Structure 1
Amino acid sequence: MGSATTQALGSTVAALDAQTTIDLDTARELFAAARVVGESSQLSGALADPTAPAGTRARLVADIFGKSFRPATVAVLTATAQQRWSGAADLVDAIEELAVRAATRADKNVDVEGELFRVSRLVAENPQLELALGSRLGDSAAKGALVQTLLGGRASEATTLIVSSLVQQTGDRRVRQLLIRAMQIVADQRGRTVASVVTAAPLTAAQRTRLVETLSRRYGSGVSLNEIIDPAVVGGLRVQIADDVIDGSISSRLADLRQKLAV
């Protein structure tokens, strides 16, 4: 991510946070805008053109989305178009991120991170499903409908909207990559950090509480745990937060021992 995009993204997230009427309809409109802009290199290039005056880009947003989208959505898209982006692809990614954040804001009582994690595990355990959702040859609307069918009644409306929208515009990205990114965005919107925990057996409630407290102190923010059961770790656990890995599993210790004995 270029420095221009980093600064622009911060400004657009602030513009979204400043809106008081954000709901799932806003998220739907932002996802729709991301698809429209992403499918037109001419439009995305025009909106991300650093040589074009900010006012010109704002009028382009108004001309395309002003009559069909609500004022709050148009205001966020206008703020996005007025920023300086490192490239057109970054602009599209930013609109998509704003859509995920808007869906997250729609219902603060829903564990969107946890639901997205469960969907990612479902995809990981079903290669045919991942292929169906990630194929560039498949019909986008059909992929969205498939997600609606799979998650109907099993996940919140916010999570279903996020997943069904993301699979309709995968580009060169794998579905699991999209879901992991979405989890990180949701956690950031809620001021938390995502920790993936691999353990041989499910953690008890007390163990989860102690682990969350320990990680929260270490990283200075709330932590959301995503638990993966893998008998191969034998005992102990392995924790990953972003690029940090804390490996206290018995399998890791055995591997270290074998390596030392082989020297």
Structure 2
Amino acid sequence: MHGASREALTAARERLDALTDSTAADAGSLADELASVTALLDREVSLRRVLTDPAQDGEAKAQLAQRLLGTQVGGPAVDLVAGMVRSRWSQSRDLVDALEELANTADLTAAQKTGRLDDVEDELFRFGRIVASDTQLRAALTNRSARAAAKGELLRSLLGGRAQRTTERLVTRLVTAPRGRSLESGLESLSKLAADRRDRMVAVVTSAVPLSDTQKRRLGAALTKVYGRPMHLNLDVDPDVLGGIRVQVGDEVINGSIADRLEEAGRRLAS
């Protein structure tokens, strides 16, 4: 997002934090209601355009949202959406993207309040690795002609009772309503949101063998020192990494594997 939309999203995040900090607001219920509004505005393009029309008075747009949603979702969700449509958005679609993010953040906040956020982060990462290694599963989950209900049932069979309820909810919303994104990019966005709940960065660490607890602690401390922020490690094992580790933080790759050192040595000899 850029310009006005970025500012509007920042303000909406602050309002959501204020709502979920209150014991009176149930973060899980709020997530469901924001997800339903996301689906509505994603489907009703004309309504979305009216609610983001910069030529219209912000208060009038807020009152319209309150009339439309007042009988559909609870007061906190209505107030949050009304505040969002008072803001200016660079594109009408940005409002829907923001609502979807807030719904996911509310679910992650619920997990954080119950001490399950670390589990959710790890499960999102592991699910992504499972999908990446199973082409048939990925095809089933991304098949555009398959019904959303069938995909939801497949996910229940895979995750039900095996993963945190928050993980299942997040993945199900992503798979059944991808909104033009790839499954991989959607899972990556969810992982980043989970890390942001504690102002942490995520490092994807690939090694030939599992790291010991001591190695994980040392690596986490080293990366925290380098990046100046707490670091959550998503650990993966790849036998093709002959030694050392490969660390990816965002778009940056820190590569210390023997395989890559050999490749670099070969390139130098060739030149």
Distance (Å, rounded) in 2 between the aligned partners of 1:80 and 1:191: 24
RMSD: 1.3
SS at match of 1:137: coil
Match of 1:231, SS state, is: coil
Describe the shift of the 1:148–1:49 C-alpha distance in structure 2 as closer, same or farther (beyond 3 A).
farther
Structure 2 residue 177 is the aligned partner of structure 1 residue 173: no
Alignment map for 1:20-169 (pairs within 5 Å): 20=22, 21-108=25-112, 109-110=115-116, 111=118, 112-169=120-177
Deviations 1:122-172 (A, max 9, x none): 111111221222222222232223222211011111111111111121132
* TM-score, scaled to structure 1: 0.95
Unaligned stretches of 5+ in structure 1?
Answer: none
Report if aligned partners of 1:28, 1:161 keep a CA contact under 8 Å in 2: no
Render the CA deviation track for 1:77-131: whole Å, top value 9, x for unaligned: 2222222222122111111110111001112111221111111111111112212
Contact 1:30 1:99 in 2 (8 A): yes
- Percent identity, aligned pairs only? 38
**Matches of 1:168 and 1:63, distance apart in 2:** 28
Map of 2:229 onto structure 1? 221
Aligned length: 263
Contact persistence 1:58–1:81 (CA under 8 A): yes
Q: Which runs of 4+ in 1 moved over 6 A?
A: none
* Runs of 5+ consecutive residues of structure 2 not aligned to the other structure: none
For the structure 1 residues 138 and 202, does the alpha-carbon distance in structure 2 shift closer, same or farther, using more than 3 Å as the test?
same
Paired position in structure 1 for 2:13: 13
Give deviations 1:227-246, integer Å, cap 9, x for gaps.
11111121111111111111
Deviation at 1:219, TM superposition (A): 1.6
SS where residue 107 of structure 1 aligns?
helix
Q: Is the 8 A contact 1:48 1:87 kept in 2?
A: yes
Q: Partners in 1 of 2:199 and 2:121 — Cα distance?
A: 12
2:44 and 2:258 mapped to 1: Cα distance? 51
Report 1:190-229 matches (<5 A): 190-229=198-237
